[in-house]
Amino acid sequence: MTISVGDAVPAVSIQQATPEGAQGLDTAEFFAGKTVVLFGVPGAFTPTCSAKHLPGFVTQAAALKAKGVDAIACMAVNDPFVMAAWAKDQGITGQVVMIADGSAAFTKALGLELDLTARGLGVRCQRFALIARDGKVAHVAVEAPGGFEVSTAEAILAAL
């Protein structure tokens, strides 16, 4: 079942990609006591994700924070080393927390998995964005297959 407004963000242990390497990340701790925008992408280095989705949140980071967002996080079903390389490639310097959900545990807990096994890509994350306040979902937007409208940084700014 897909996560909905009012649901608690699932508590899962995953990893955060940092310039110093992989660090453990407990989602319950990460989301507690703050407003977080989390957006998920099917994969690092993929065309729409690299050309539009991640750059949009980097560009709008200051505007999001001006509206009370404490943290912006990008999640993909990739390992932390790929996420760190993608952050470096995209010039991320702290605007966005890069979350590696290598085994899709968090993605599955959110109910947002996308099975692309037939295309040789395995289980991935649907393209989505959500706003969580103190660990509870306040807004969630999941894209239709191939879509890129409701999960953009601009759409999330409008939802705040």
Which sequence positions are flagged as catalytic? Answer: 49
Strand spans (E) along the chain: 13-18, 21-26, 35-41, 71-76, 97-100, 113-115, 123-125, 128-133, 136-142
Q: Quick check: helix, strand or coil at residue 145?
A: coil
Beta-strand relationship, 13-18 and 97-100: antiparallel
The rounded distance, in Å, linking the Cα atoms of 143 and 151 is: 7
The rounded distance, in Å, linking the Cα atoms of 10 and 138 is: 14
Residue with tokens 């050309």, as numbered in its chain: 51
